[in-house]
Amino acid sequence: MKKHIIIAGVPRAGKSMVSQMISKIYDYQHISIDSIIAGFEKAFPETGINSEAEGVPWQENLCKISSKIAPFLRAMMDSGEYDELDYGMVIDIFQLLPGDYIKYIDTSVCDIYYFITSDVSPKERFELLKKYDTPKDYTFYKPDWENMDGCSDIVEASRFYREQCIQYGLPYFETSKNRNAILDGFVKGLSRT
């Protein structure tokens, strides 16, 4: 495993769970970028980062946020904060596209893995969301109709990520079926070597 690991992909695909498992088993520092993005939205609106931008197609907004967050992630990794330690960061994030990972992140010190749910319908995706939703998740507090609307975008985003992962030769994991077995197998397959 490299100094840093990014766990990227769509909501409720298992990113946070995998990141927490890696943190616990391999002693990586877990950082959720979703909360950092929320901070940027509130404290620095001039950055143009707005995950809830109205009237902007989801794909356009995803590309915009990814292109701004990727250099920020690179700066975090280049900070030297973890240089003297045996471990680094495991970062979970939704808004990081494969092309921006390749463009901005030093792949000699950071691996990335995408977790998606592209092999389901929006209705099936909604059922998955409800199955894995907890009070720690922002979707837990949204009404069902709003979550159902968002599930179409999540399925489309998953397919978009899958296409880009194939294009850039990056690993992705489909977690719409047998999620827990896939997540456990992934974490057990990692090695500190």
Q: Quick one: average pLDDT of 17-30? A: 94
Name which residue leads in pLDDT, 193 or 16.
Answer: 16
- Residue range 4-189 in CATH 3.40.50.12240: no
Q: Is the pLDDT of residue 192 over 70?
A: no
pLDDT at 106: 94
Residue 50: pLDDT band with limits 50, 70, 90: confident
Rounded to an integer, the average pLDDT of 54-76 is: 92
- Indicate the pLDDT class of residue 32, thresholds 50, 70 and 90: very high
The three state secondary structure string of the chain is CCCEEEEEECCCCCHHHHHHHHHHHHCCEEEEHHHHHHHHHHHCHHHCCCCCCCCCCHHHHHHHHHHHHHHHHHHHHHCCCCCCCCCCEEEEECCCCHHHHHHHCCCCCEEEEEEECCCCCHHHHHHHHHHHCCCCCHHHHCCHHHHHHHHHHHHHHHHHHHHHHHHHCCCEEECCCCHHHHHHHHHHHCCCC
Q: If we measure between CA atoms, which residue out of 107, 109, 114, 91 comes closest to residue 8?
A: 114
Residue 5 phi, psi dihedral angles, 5° rounding: -135, 135
In this prediction, residues 51-68 reach a mean pLDDT of 89
Q: Which residues of 119-153 are buried (b: 16+ CB within 10 A; e: fewer)?
A: ebebeebbebbeebbeeeeebeeeeeeebbebbeb
pLDDT score recorded for residue 51: 84
Which pLDDT belongs to residue 14?
92
> Cα–Cα distance between 91 and 125 in angstroms, integer?
24
How far apart are alpha carbons 11 and 39 in whole angstroms? Answer: 18
pLDDT tens, residue by residue, 67-108: 999 999 999 999 888 787 777 899 999 999 999 999 999 999
pLDDT exceeds cutoff 80 at 191: no
| Residue 20: closest CA among 30, 33, 9 | 30
Is pLDDT above 80 for 141? yes
pLDDT at 71: 96
Say what the pLDDT of residue 139 is. Answer: 82
Distance between CA atoms of residues 122 and 3, nearest Å:
36
